[in-house]
Structure 1
Amino acid sequence: MKYVSILGFSALCAIGLSSNASAQSRAHPECRSFKNSHSCTCAVENGGRVYDDPHRPGRKRWVSARRGTPAHMAFMNCTNRSGAR
């Protein structure tokens, strides 16, 4: 019985790790270094951009499309679908 539970636990861990890895691979290449790479990816794919932070040399920031535009609504829909916060 212990063997079956250990096998089941290891299978669940493997599934969890593979789903996390696939989520990382879907991130836009510019967004992989950000803590919230899902929202950054949604922004870049829907009219946003990644730029150098003028106040912190060596750092980057991302911005979504301007509020009130259809591109911003597409960004919001994307983040809501992916569950990013």
Structure 2
Amino acid sequence: MQSFSSREFNQDVDKAERAAKHGPVFITDEGIPTHVLLTIDEYHRLSETGKSLSEVLAMPPELAEELAKIEFNPVRSRDVELRDVDLS
């Protein structure tokens, strides 16, 4: 997925449209996504599935299953001094 700042988008709409042919293009304002540019075909495909955009863009279950198989046991650094934090 590609993203453009609102300024980049305004300066080169054609580039954003070309990028949208390959997938959703996020338009950001101060680094925060505010809009998504899709081709009309992709919009129709998404609106017919009954799924939300977040469901469509979510990680496929097969990939999630494969990632769950990876063992990750990071070594804790002994050089870090732990201290109590007052959260009151």
- TM-score relative to the length of structure 2: 0.24
Structure having the larger proportion of residues in strand: 2
| Greater Rg by CA | 2
Structure having the larger proportion of residues in helix: 1
Flag the structure with more relative contact order, 1 or 2, with Cα contacts below 8 A and sequence separation at least 6. Answer: 1
